[in-house]
C-alpha cells in the first residue's frame, strides 16, 4: 500500500482509435475506472495523469476546419485547446471513477485540476519543433499558415503538411499546492492531463505557449512533487521488451537503472513510444532510493502491483 501516480496511455481513453466520439470515450473510461478502483480498493492512494494526443488534435482540427470555411472564425490558440482537452477527458474520468467508487461503497471524491506546467523559454525543444498537431494541409496552405500565423509546418509522411510544436521538459507544476492539499485530504486527483498546459513565467506572470509536454515526463514530475512511492505507467503492452519485434525479442520482468540506461544507449526503445516511458521511469527511481516504477498494461495493472506482471524498474 502506498501513494501511486498512475500515467494512463491512450488505450485507457479510446479503446477503438477509429471511434473518437464522446460516447465511445466515456464508455472506455468506465471500463478503465474498474481497474483504477481495484488499486484504490487495495488500500492505495492514487493520483492520475493521462495523455491527450488524439483529443487535442481533434479540437485543433475542428477549429482549423471551421476557420477554412469562414475566415471570420479565429483559430483557437494551442494552449487553450490543451485546456479544453484536459477538461473533456477529466470530466469523463472523474465521472467514471466516482461512479465505480460509489458502486463499491468507497467514500472518496474525485477532482480534475486544469494543470499548468512551467517550462523554460531556453529549453532546446523550442529550437526544434517536432510534435505534429491538427489537420493536414496542402503545401500552398502550409506556406500561407507559416506566413500569416508564424506556424512551423512539416511534411508528415507524405500525407500532407501539419503544424509541429516544440516538446519542452517540465520544470514545475503551477497548481502544486492545490494538488497537494487535495491529495493530503484523501481525494483522488486527475492532473497534468496531456502533460499539462506548457507555460512560461515572466515577472511572476504565466503565459501559455504552443507546445506539448510529454505526459510521461509530466507524470514523473508530479510523482516527485507529491513524494509518491511508485510511478505506474500503463500502456498498450504488458511488459517492456528489448529487441522488440525481432527473433531475439525478450520481455523483461525487472530492470535496474543501469540496465535501462544501457538499453537506451543500444537503441532498444522507440522515440515517441517506449523511450519517454523508460526515461521517466528511470528518472523517478533515481530520485530516491526507495522509489519504484512499473510499466505494464491497464488490464494487468493490479497484477503488476502484486509483482506478477509488468516490468519493474528498480
Residue positions annotated with a catalytic role: 10-11, 131, 215, 277
Residue 311, all three cell numbers: 516490468
Cα 52 to Cα 84, 215, 233: the distances in Å are 10, 8, 15
Place of cell 491538427: 134
Q: Are 305 and 232 in contact (CB under 8 A)?
A: yes
The answer for 139, left when phi > 0, alpha when psi is -120 to 50, beta otherwise, is alpha
CB-CB neighbours of 6 under 10 Å: 27
How far apart (Å, rounded) are the C-alpha atoms in residues 228 and 189? 13
DSSP three-state, residue 46: strand
Q: Are 300 and 233 in contact (CB under 8 A)?
A: no
Q: Are 12 and 298 in contact (CB under 8 A)?
A: yes
294 DSSP β-pair partners: 232, 312
Q: 265 CB contacts (<8 Å, ≥6 apart)?
A: none
The sheet with strand 161-165 has its strands ordered as: 131-137, 161-165, 153-155
Q: Are 52 and 12 in contact (CB under 8 A)?
A: no
Amino acid at each position: 500500500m502506498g501513494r501511486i501516480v498512475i500515467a494512463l496511455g491512450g488505450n485507457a481513453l479510446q479503446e477503438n482509435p477509429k471511434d473518437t466520439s464522446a460516447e465511445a470515450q466515456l464508455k472506455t473510461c468506465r471500463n478503465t475506472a474498474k481497474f483504477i478502483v481495484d488499486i484504490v480498493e487495495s488500500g492505495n492512494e492514487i493520483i492520475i495523469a493521462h495523455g491527450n494526443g488524439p483529443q487535442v488534435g481533434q479540437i485543433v482540427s475542428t477549429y482549423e476546419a471551421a476557420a477554412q470555411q469562414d475566415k471570420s472564425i479565429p483559430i483557437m490558440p494551442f494552449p487553450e485547446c490543451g485546456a479544453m482537452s484536459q477538461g473533456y477527458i477529466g470530466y469523463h474520468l472523474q465521472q467514471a471513477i466516482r461512479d465505480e467508487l460509489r458502486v463499491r461503497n468507497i467514500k472518496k471524491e474525485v477532482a480534475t485540476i486544469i494543470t499548468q506546467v512551467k517550462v523554460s523559454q531556453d529549453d532546446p525543444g523550442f529550437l526544434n519543433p517536432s510534435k505534429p498537431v491538427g489537420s493536414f494541409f496542402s503545401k500552398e496552405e502550409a506556406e500561407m499558415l507559416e506566413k500569416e500565423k508564424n506556424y512551423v509546418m512539416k511534411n508528415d509522411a507524405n500525407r500532407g503538411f501539419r503544424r509541429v510544436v516544440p516538446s519542452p521538459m517540465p520544470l514545475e507544476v503551477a497548481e502544486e499546492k492545490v494538488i497537494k492539499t487535495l491529495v493530503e485530504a484523501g481525494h483522488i486527483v486527475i492532473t497534468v492531463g496531456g502533460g499539462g498546459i506548457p507555460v512560461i513565467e515572466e515577472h511572476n506572470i504565466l503565459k501559455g505557449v504552443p507546445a506539448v509536454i510529454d505526459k510521461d515526463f509530466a507524470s514523473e514530475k508530479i510523482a516527485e512533487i507529491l513524494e509518491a512511492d511508485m510511478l505506474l505507467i500503463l500502456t498498450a503492452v504488458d511488459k517492456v521488451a528489448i529487441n522488440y519485434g525481432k527473433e531475439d525479442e525478450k520481455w523483461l520482468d525487472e530492470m535496474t537503472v543501469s540496465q535501462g540506461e544501457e538499453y537506451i544507449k543500444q537503441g532498444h526503445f522507440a522515440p515517441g513510444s517506449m523511450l519517454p516511458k523508460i526515461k521517466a521511469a528511470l528518472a523517478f527511481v533515481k530520485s530516491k532510493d526507495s522509489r519504484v516504477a512499473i510499466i505494464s498494461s491497464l488490464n494487468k495493472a493490479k497484477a503488476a502491483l502484486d509483482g506478477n506482471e509488468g516490468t519493474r524498474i528498480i
